[in-house]
Amino acid sequence: MCILKVAFKIIDNIMKKEILIKFGNKVRKERTKLGLSQERLAAKAGVHRTYIGMIERAEKNITLENIEKVAKALNLKLSNFFSDF
């Protein structure tokens, strides 16, 4: 039974990491499309400059509030932001 719990935990972590990778890739794609540096995007979004890099590398589990800030800074509606997930 304990082995099953560990296996499910590992699978859950992998699935969570997948969404963070997809999100980070989307942020990077849209940022570079606009010709923005990570620092400039951070300034537009009102977050710390290192935060954008952490999002793009899937190191941060971003909050809904910060998703909205980043989407607005990228001139995207939330519905459009997640359209290709």
- Give the list of residues 6+ apart from residue 81 with CB closer than 8 angstroms, or none: 26, 67, 71, 74
pLDDT at 82: 83
Which pLDDT band, with edges at 50, 70 and 90, does 7 fall under? Answer: low
Which pLDDT band, with edges at 50, 70 and 90, does 8 fall under? Answer: low
Q: Give the model confidence (pLDDT) of 13-68 as tens digits.
A: 677 788 899 999 999 999 999 999 999 999 999 999 999 999 999 999 999 999 99
Give domain 18-80's CATH number out of 3.30.70.20, 1.10.260.40, 1.10.3430.10, 3.40.50.300. Answer: 1.10.260.40
Whole-number Å distance between alpha carbons of 56 and 28: 6
